[in-house]
């Protein structure tokens, strides 16, 4: 699979699609969430020269995945500033290394902004993909009713 990357800011016509992906994947975890509320939140990620931002993985000029570089994803960790989040791959593109490529590209972007350490949360209790990409588990917590592993990675 040949992937290209672009910022959601460069292709805002895909904001509604990403909102649908997120709502279908995580909407049930957010009381009162709607597709529109996810789309409204994505409006804050429509930039390419500053954090927060959203990055699209594209194949044949269509999005197949997305990830965010953002601030303070988990309110219980005010000292953890920079986060990788919103990693989602369309079902038809799973198993094609799209998530790995998105994570690595977000790590590169973070470094370009001078970020030295990134954090994330995952429901995969063994760290899954992130563990394979060199992320280290820091803590298991229940956050907003979901058991997650908080992980971090020092960027070189």
The answer to whether residues 149 and 139 touch, using CB atoms and an 8 Å cutoff, is yes
- pTM equals 0.94
What pLDDT band is residue 1 in, cutting at 50, 70 and 90?
low
How many CB atoms sit inside 10 A of residue 103's CB?
22
Domains of the chain (ranges, CATH numbers):
4-115 (3.40.630.30)
* Span 23-48, average pLDDT: 93
The mean of the pLDDT values for the chain is 96
Query: In the Cβ-directed half-sphere of 13, how many Cα atoms lie within 13 Å?
Result: 4
The answer to whether residues 82 and 69 touch, using CB atoms and an 8 Å cutoff, is yes
Rg of the chain over all Cα atoms, to the nearest angstrom: 15
* Span 68-78, average pLDDT: 95
Higher pLDDT, 30 or 21: 21
Question: What CA–CA distance (Å, rounded) separates 107 from 109?
Answer: 5
């Amino acid at each position: 699979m040949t992937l290209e990357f672009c910022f959601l800011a460069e292709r805002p016509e895909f904001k509604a699609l990403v909102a649908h992906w997120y709502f279908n994947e995580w909407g049930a975890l957010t009381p009162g969430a709607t597709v529109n509320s996810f789309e409204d939140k994505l409006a804050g990620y429509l930039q390419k020269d500053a954090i927060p931002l959203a990055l699209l993985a594209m194949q044949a000029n269509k999005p197949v995945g997305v990830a965010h570089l953002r601030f303070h994803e988990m309110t219980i960790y005010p000292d953890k500033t920079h986060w990788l989040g919103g990693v989602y791959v369309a079902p038809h593109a799973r198993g094609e290394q799209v998530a790995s490529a998105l994570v690595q590209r977000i790590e590169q972007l973070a470094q370009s902004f001078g970020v030295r350490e990134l954090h994330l949360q995952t429901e995969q209790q063994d760290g899954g993909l992130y563990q394979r990409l060199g992320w280290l588990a820091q803590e298991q917590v229940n956050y907003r009713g979901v058991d997650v592993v908080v992980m971090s990675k020092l960027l070189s």
